[in-house]
Amino acid sequence: MKSFAAVALTALCTVQNVAAHATFQALWVDGADFGGQCARQPASNSPVTNVASNDLRCNAGSSRPAAKCAVKAGSTVTVEMHQQPNDRSCASEAIGGAHYGPVMVYMSKVADATTADGSGGWFKIFQDTWGKNATGASGDDDFWGVKDLNKCCGKMSLAIPADLAPGDYLLRAEVIALHTAGSAGGAQLYMTCYQISVTGSGSATPPTVVFPGAYKAADPGILVNIHAALATYVAPGPTVYAGGSTKKAGSACSGCEATCAAGAGPSATASTVSVPLPTGGGGGGTGGCTVAKYAQCGGNGYTGCTTCGSGAVCSAVSPPYYSQCV
């Protein structure tokens, strides 16, 4: 018979997340903080280590929120990673424990971002991988996307290709931590899919790869000992789409100053903005969103978030046209 203490401990272990491990959990669009409203939050901050698993698409047990974040093609998005859910402070590293490796971002065009399973084609739109440290002794001393991410309080900014066809996409942000990648199956892959709706007048449909399939356990960017000196590092997966971008490892916050001054990023209560849903959307209130005090939360034609932040209630100030959080 299981004692109460054993049951309680088991329950605790499943909810308590491992220190150092991390999840991408928030999304900014052109400097507007959407928080976790359109992020498929993974069930835990543990990595995926089997590159042949379907979990490689959007992580294990991830949620599917009702909301999508609207993004204009060509605009800048910022993906944000932290060790613990909803801890957006800059006090601890975004991903700790010398979990060095590349940061990469993919997209997949889907019929509906809230229901897509990620089995369709993916194209890479961004990477920040590796750079040689001339005075360093090993790969640990080198420049890595993860070091840039950590300098930016967990944030990495990148452009959504301007030429993309409009429609729903999954946006997949990924860190591959290589500290134990010297043996097969040792690389730790951390990914989150964000549900976005891209607007614009482009028509490009880039060539794609699939997950699983795009990575092999023996890829030189996945099976690699970074505690030895590295002459080069070959990031796994396809090359970055021509309309995408790369960031030079070692450039730290360059390109994301607006959202990631180290040590001065958003607090745990960073405000979120409402999500414009696609036509026919029924309000973003189920997406884990929050409306700031005095902002709109309802009224005729309003399709945004309807949940007020703590301490405030949604009140009809000018019925039926306008409700706000008071």
Ligand X SMILES: *[C@@H]1O[C@H](CO)[C@@H](O)[C@H](O)[C@H]1NC(C)=O
In the list Cu ion, ligand X, none, the entry touching 136 (Cβ below 5 to 8 angstroms by class) is ligand X
Cα(23)–Cα(145) distance, rounded to whole angstroms?
A: 15
Q: How far is the CB of 247 from ligand X (least distance, A)?
A: 15
88 binds ligand X (CB under 6 A): no
Q: Which of 76, 78, 83, 133 binds ligand X (CB under 6 A)?
A: 133
Cα(104)–Cα(175) distance, rounded to whole angstroms?
A: 6
Q: How far is the CB of 188 from Cu ion (least distance, A)?
A: 5
**Window 146-205: residues binding Cu ion (CB under 5 A):** 188
Instruction: Give the residue from 84, 65, 90 showing the smallest Cα distance to 290.
Output: 65
**Window 146-205: residues binding ligand X (CB under 6 A):** 147
Span of 44-52, 132-140, 175-183, 201-209 interacting with ligand X by CB under 6 A: 132-140
143 binds ligand X (CB under 6 A): yes
In sequence order, the 6+-apart residues with CB closer than 8 A to the CB of 81 are 22, 23, 24, 25, 94, 95, 149, 154, 155, 156, 173, 175, 190
Distance set, CA 240 to CA 78, 122, 125, 161 (Å): 18, 11, 5, 11
Span of 40-48, 135-143, 152-160, 311-319 interacting with ligand X by CB under 6 A: 135-143
Instruction: Give the residue from 247, 69, 87 showing the smallest Cα distance to 156.
Output: 247
Instruction: Give the residue from 172, 157, 174 showing the smallest Cα distance to 253.
Output: 157
141 binds ligand X (CB under 6 A): yes
Q: Which of 5, 14, 111, 135 binds ligand X (CB under 6 A)?
A: 135
Residues that bind Cu ion (CB under 5 A): 188
Residues that bind ligand X (CB under 6 A): 133, 135-137, 141, 143, 147
